[in-house]
Each structure stands twice: as structure tokens, then as C-alpha cells.
Amino acid sequence: METRLYTRRAVLKGGALVVGFSFAGLPLASAQGVAQAGAAPGRTLDQRQVDAFLAVRRNGSVIVYSGKVDLGTGHRIAMRQMVAEELAIPVTRIELIEGDTALTPDQGSTAGSSGVTRGGVQLRQAAATAREALIARASTHLGRPAAELELADGYVRATGGSARISLGELVGDSAFDVPMNPKARLKDPGTYTVVGQPLPRPDIPAKLTGRYVYVHDFKLPGMMHARVVRPPAVAAQLLDYDAGSIAQIPGTQVVRIKDFLAIVSDDEWAAVRAARELKTRWSEAATLIGHTAVRAWARSGPFTNNEVLVNKGTTAALAGSAHALRAAYYWPVQSHASIGPSCAVADVQADHATIWSASQGTHRYQSAYAQMLGLPREKVHLIYLDGAGCYGMNGHDDAAADAVLLSRALKRPVRVQWTREDELGWDPKGPPQLLEISATLDAAGHIDAWETEMWLPTATANLAHVPLLAPQAAGMPQPVGESTGLIAQNGDPPYRAPNVKVHVHWIAQAPLRPSNIRAPGKVANCFAVESFVDELAAHAGVDPLEFRLRDLADPRGVEVLKKAAALIGWQPRSASESRRATQPVATGRGLAYVHYKNNENYVAIAMEVAVERSSGKISVKRVACAHDCGLMINPDNVRAQVEGCILQTISRTLYEETEFDRSRVTSVDWSSYRLLRFPDVPQLDIALIDRRHEPPLGAGEAATAPVAAALANAVFDATGARLREAPFTHERVRAALAQA
């Protein structure tokens, strides 16, 4: 791990600079923020040192340096709670600096629900190490043995005595200079007073009153506004443009770098209009396959390789078995569909650059921009500012690349704001997934042999980052490959099964540039696996809850399944008993379960739906969810994440597919890319299981996984129709009803 010193000059660059947030969530700008950031001279980013994560100011308040960021997910309070608990100080005495490449250590991207589980846990260990160091120092100061000292309310004090010394006096404004101790003793969770409390998020009041500075709101003196003019087809080349076509719009300038074309202006509206009205000519390009062809295309290759992920017992007999059940499930290409189109601000100087970005991985993209600028990595400083929720890599990193190119060309700070069409059309997409499952039951109706075959776009090994649009268009060198996240997990049944095989055909290239989208792969895989389990239960004539419980050994899994079933008021019945074919609106309930990544959260979801037979419209009436994510740092944050996981995935399941023709994405607004709306929102009953003695597992993703299967299983329960392809459009529902 490289060690770099914090340099005050680099941070001062740019004037109205935000480096942190006050406890109230208001940005700490300019002089105030810089003074605070500079409170720990000589700070290191070496993660073997406590100083990489923590600093104490003379007044005794603590600064936490987090490489992981708050994506609207509540990390800002959760990280503070983890540190506050170990150091025995109130959360209000903690400032948090996040995702700043000059100030915070590189803890990896905030993805894969890793914020608390990896980032927070590291901060907690730093705080526990710091506590030991503070007690050792205080022992010298106070002349008392360490065993008689404790931390309380910003002091180290002697137990049962009056001697005490404040944290500020012990280390104020100087370094801890102690290595991280992975064995530093953590507080006993049984004694927690801060962790586990539903403390309010510090950023909410400022966000609710319009004071919060999102990256979209960040301004620099002399900053120009830019809009990128995208080609009408992926991979089209710019032939020429007619500057005269925007002569009537004052104060605009066209920037062209090969096929990268943009308008800049001091006036944002002028840039918007000029980008719309500029006449351009592009080459024809028809390199895409079109969304309707993806499902068939997935099986056709070319494939980079086939990989066997699970191989237990033997599934050889399945292939020729006349008794085997088989079904294929498809999940389409989807957009992150952020409500705010991506935005970034860059200020490129001759020998260094500063970039304000809502990136999930500011450290990761440092090298991408450094390469574009021909600068050493450490001369490129990224500062995280909130964007609209992203749920994976949306357009933020591309917007930052756009801004970098333009600021370099203009020698001015540039703000790039994507349009709605940019975001839905050009954000890297969630990849399509095709799964085929076959299985046989034994004489007693239990799973005997199970095989999952997957067709998934490959993830390129060791890819530095997702290739970005701007350098691509400008003809700059880029890493070659694709990134999708760990999309092959949870392809096996989470129940006892003696013979299981899971294998993947890795497709060489995705139909549209992919990236990680919330719970990568697991949404589709759990949809397939838990729908198929339901098909097996129906085939065996066994109640779906009973079918799962009788072959589920893990008690934490059993608990969430029983809890979700109790919340929905599950009445045991086999599926065939429930269909009321005569009613115009059929209602039913279904459930699904996941042990996320086979080693993280336990989640069960039960749902009640109504299906209007004539139209094929599905209404989700009620969702019950039981959720076990180990230790909950902040149960209200967990609940908010679970709510979001459920509602967002209902939206993805019922409505969402990125549509594209041979040239371009065509679902580029909110009428062609539909989202869940308020009237569609079901009643939510969420039970959070308290497991304070287990490790924290995070809550940003897991509850997405069982949603689609629970929904499809409820539709089956209501109508006998199986939905095996998302989204569950009215047409697909009607088609499935016709076959049921």
C-alpha cells in the first residue's frame, strides 16, 4: 500500500471546496473544511495505520476518514455509530470525510453491500486499536494501570475515581502513530449503547430543506456548463457538424475531440438548447442485436469459457430422464435508472486535476482519469459528493470522464450534466441472464438431482475499471473488457439436495456495455431457483413453505421463512387447491427465500398479489419480509434499505426492460422505461431479526433477491400461470394465463 502525505495545497485548490459534512449534514466548505481536514498533519493513507482512518482534534472531536461512501444508504450515521461505540463518544462529536482520494484510504468501491461489512468493520477495528492506544497513553499521564482505565464521554478516566484526561489532550491534532491491531478487543455487543440504535441520519434535515449540496449543485468560480452531444447510434462516427446551426444561441462553444462532441457555455440553458439544436452528421452504425433477440442470442455464443461452479454427487441421470422437470428463466437488460441524471465537475490544471463525483469508487477511477490526462495517479484528486441513488455503476463515472476531457480542452472548471436520455440510454446496463434448470424428485418428493445451466455475460478478469464513453469517443486508450459483478452466485438451491450441478457458459460480450447493478446476478438467479423450487413443490403436491422447510437445515434460514410466512398469514395448501379460475381478479400468495451469496444475509419474502385476468395486470397487495443481516448497526437504516430493495425489485420485475434496436437504446424516458409509482406500492410488513452477536452483513442488496420469485410464485398460486421471463408485462401474463 502506497503512503502519501496529505498536502494542504492540493485540497485548497478550487476555492469553495467541500471536504466534509458537519453533523447536521451541511457541507463544510472552504476555509472551515480545509482547516478541519488539515487538523492531522502528516496523515497517512496506509491502512496498516490507525491514522489512515481516525484523527482527534484538540477539542476532542474525532474525524473519521472513510473510503466507503454514503449512497443515500445511511452510512454517514452507521459509520459514526461504529466508531462512537468503541471510543465511547457521542456521534455528534464525529465528523466524517468520505471518498476523498487525498484524505481517505482506498477501502474499495462502495458496492456489493460492503459499506458496513468491510468499510465499517475496518473503521471499528481502527477505533478499537485507538482505544487501546489512548488507554496506554493515559496510563502514563495519570500514573494508573491500564486495567483501571476506561473511555467515557470523550475522556479516559479511572474506574471509580476522579482522575481523567480528555481525548483532545491525549492526541489532539497529532498522530496516533500506532499500527492497526486486528486483535484489538472489540466492545461486547451485549453492552452496546450506540450501535443498534435507530439514530436519525445527519444529512436528512439539509436534504429536506434544500440546503444539501449534491454534486449537481456544486459550483466553482469560472465554471462552465456542458452537455455532451451523443451519437444517434452506438459506435457511430462523427462526420461533421454545422456550427452555424446554433449561431442564434449566445455564448456557446462547440468542443470536438474525434467522435466526442459537446457544447459548453457559461449559461446552462444555452448549453442545453445548443446541444439539442446543433446539426450533426454521423456515420451509420448497426452493431447491436436488439433487445428482442437477446434471449435467443445468449445461447449462441461465442463464449469465453464454461465454468462449473457447483458439482456435488452426480446429475448425469438428469439429461435423459423422462421424469425430470425443466424450465428456462430470463432476466432482461436493465438500467440503473437513477432519478437524477449523472453529473460531475472537473477542474483540470497543467499538472493536477480535481474531480467532484458521485462515484461509488473514487479511488478506482483515479487511474482512469490520470490515464486520460497523462498525469500520475496521485495528481488526480477525486472528491465524493452525493448524487442521486445509483444502485451500482450508473453514469457518474462517465460524466466525470466527460468533464475531465472538457476541462482539459477549455482550461476552465467544467460541470457536465447528463440528460434523461443520456442516463437511460448510455448508463452501463445490468446484464441479461438466461438460466435453465432441470431436476428430479425422489420417491418422497424431495429434490434428488438438480442442474442449473446459466448463460451470462463474462466479467473480464482484473479489469481496471469499466471502459468509459468519453475516452472511447475521443479515441484514447482504454482497458478492454467488461465488468458485471459476481453474477453467478446463488444458482444452486438453498435446500438439501444430494446431487447438484451449476455451470455457466460465459458469453464473450454483453449486448450493451454492462456494469454492476444492485445485487448483481442474484435477482435473476434467485428468481429462477426459487421459482423452480415452487414448480417442484407443485409437482410434488406439497405446500411450498413445507417443501422448503423440510429440507432446510440452517436455523437462521428456517427462522426467516417461518417469520415471513407468519406475517403474511400463510395457510398451508398445495398450489392446485388454490386456483379460482372463474374469478375475473384472482388473488394468491407466494414466497421465496435466499441465503445471500450462500454466506451472508438470510431473507424470506412472502407476497400477496391480485391478477386481473382480462388485462394481465398484476397488483402487488402486500409484501412480508423477514430479514437477518447479523448485527444491525442502525435498524432504521436497515429497514429503509429493505424497503428500497423490495420496492425497486418489484419495479424491475413488473415493468423494466431496456429496449434497443440495431443502433441505439430506445427506452430513454420515463414513459418508455417505466418505474413503480406511488399507487403501485403495496403494504410492507418487515421483520428485522436482531442478531447482535453475529457479524454485520449489510442490508443494501440481499432483500432484492427473493422478490421476483415470490411475486411469480404468488401469480402461480392465484392463476396456475408460470411467469418465467421478466418483466411481467400484461402481454406476458395474458400469454401465460392462456397456457395455464
Rule CB under 6 A: which residues touch ligand FES? 72, 339, 388-389
* Residue 417, contacted partner among another protein, ligand FES, none, CB below 5-8 A by kind: another protein
What the block records as the C-alpha cell of 19 is 471536504
Q: Where are the beta strands (DSSP E) in 561-657?
A: 585-595, 602-612, 617-628
Q: How far apart are CA 558 and CA 593, in angstroms?
A: 10
Supply the minimum distance, in Å, between the C-beta of residue 337 and another protein. Answer: 6
Q: What is the largest CA-CA distance in the chain?
A: 84
| C-alpha pair distances (Å), 638 with each of 272, 478, 526, 657 | 39, 38, 21, 28
Q: Which is nearer to another protein, 131 or 336 (CB)?
A: 336
Q: Which residues pair with 590 in a beta bridge?
A: 607
In the list ligand FES, another protein, none, the entry touching 694 (Cβ below 5 to 8 angstroms by class) is: none
Q: Which is nearer to ligand FES, 216 or 291 (CB)?
A: 216
Q: Which does 10 bind (CB under 5 to 8 A by kind): ligand FES, another protein, none?
A: none
Which of 456, 185, 116 lies closest to 294, judged by CA? 456
Q: Pick what 310 binds: ligand FES, another protein, none; C-beta below 5 to 8 Å, kind-dependent.
A: none
Minimum CB separation of residue 399 from another protein in Å reads: 13
Query: Which lies closer to another protein via its Cβ, residue 68 or residue 144?
Result: 68
- Cβ neighbours of residue 433 closer than 8 Å, sequence gap 6 or more: 330, 331, 454, 455, 456, 487, 521, 524, 525
Give the nearest distance from C-beta 644 to ligand FES in angstroms: 8
Nearer to another protein, 317 or 339 (CB): 339
Backbone angles phi, psi at 168, to 5 degrees: -60, -45
Which listed option, another protein, ligand FES, none, makes contact with residue 228 (CB within 5 to 8 Å by class)? Answer: none
For the record, the C-alpha cell of 49 comes out as 495505520
User: Residue 292 or residue 683: which is nearer to another protein going by CB?
Assistant: 683
- Closest CB to ligand FES among 178 and 676? 676
Q: Pick between residue 72 and residue 425 the one whose CB is nearest to ligand FES.
A: 72
Q: What's the rounded Cα separation, in Å, for the pair 605 and 564?
A: 6
Please identify, using beta-carbon distances, which residue of 100 and 386 lies nearer to ligand FES. 386
Residue 645 binding result from ligand FES, another protein, none, given CB thresholds of 5 to 8 Å by partner type: another protein
Question: For residue 18, is it left (φ>0), alpha (ψ between -120 and 50) or beta?
Answer: beta
For another protein, the closer of residues 420 and 446 by Cβ is 420
Give the separation between CA 148 and CA 472, rounded to whole angstroms.
62
Cα–Cα dist 250/241, whole Å: 18
| C-alpha distances out from residue 689 to 197, 567, 601, 682, Å | 14, 13, 11, 22
Residue count of the chain, please give it: 740
The item of another protein, ligand FES, none sharing an interface with residue 71, based on CB under 5 to 8 Å by kind, is: another protein
205 binds, among ligand FES, another protein, none (CB under 5 to 8 A by kind): another protein
Identity of the residue, 455 or 655, whose beta carbon is nearer to another protein in the bound complex? 655
CA distance 284 to 200: 53
Instruction: State the minimum distance, in angstroms, from the CB of residue 332 to ligand FES.
Output: 22
The least distance separating ligand FES from the CB of residue 225, rounded to whole angstroms, comes to 16
3-class secondary structure, 574 = coil
Which of ligand FES, another protein, none has residue 364 at its interface (CB below 5 to 8 Å by kind)? none
The angle at the Cα of 560, spanning 555 to 562, to the nearest 5 degrees, equals: 90
**Smallest distance from another protein to CB 91, Å:** 15
- Among ligand FES, another protein, none, partner that 211 touches (CB below 5 to 8 angstroms by kind): another protein
Nearest to 518 by CA among 380, 613, 647, 386: 647
Nearest distance from C-beta of residue 56 to ligand FES, angstroms: 34
To another protein, the closest distance from the beta carbon of 78 in angstroms equals 13
Minimal distance, residue 388 CB to ligand FES, in Å:
6
Of 560, 493, 561, 557, the closest CA to residue 525 belongs to 493
Sign for the CA dihedral angle at 166, 170, 171, 172 comes to positive
Question: For residues 361 and 389, which CB has a smaller minimum distance to another protein in the complex?
Answer: 389
Cell digits of residue 567:
406475517
359/357 Cα distance (integer angstroms): 5
Residues 715 and 618 sit within 8 Å (Cβ to Cβ): yes
Considering the complex, what minimum distance in angstroms separates the CB of residue 670 from ligand FES?
8
Smallest distance, Å, CB 204 to another protein? 6
Q: Which C-beta is closer to another protein: that of 26 or that of 142?
A: 26
How far apart are CB 339 and ligand FES at their closest, in Å? Answer: 4
Q: Please say which residue, 394 or 458, places its beta carbon nearer to another protein.
A: 394
Name the binder of 216 from another protein, ligand FES, none, CB < 5-8 A by kind: another protein
- Set of cell numbers at residue 119: 468499510
Q: How many CA atoms lie within 13 A of 302 on its CB side?
A: 2
* Residue 60 touches which of another protein, ligand FES, none (Cβ within 5-8 Å per kind): none
Count of CB atoms situated within 10 Å of the CB of 539: 16
Residue 546 site contact among ligand FES, another protein, none (CB < 5 to 8 Å, cut-off depends on kind): none
Bridge partners, 54 (sequence order)? 64
Q: For another protein, give the closer residue by CB, 527 or 673.
A: 673
C-beta separation of 334 from 658 below 8 A:
yes
Nearest to 591 by CA among 529, 629, 642, 534: 534
Q: Which does 439 bind (CB under 5 to 8 A by kind): another protein, ligand FES, none?
A: none
CB of 118 to another protein, least distance (A): 21
Task: Please state the closest distance from residue 671 (CB atom) to ligand FES, in A.
Answer: 12
How far apart (Å, rounded) are the C-alpha atoms in residues 596 and 606?
17
Q: Which residues bind another protein (CB under 8 A)?
A: 24, 26, 71-73, 200-201, 203-214, 216-217, 250, 267-270, 272-273, 337-341, 386-389, 391, 417, 419-420, 636, 640, 643-648, 669-671, 675-679, 681, 684
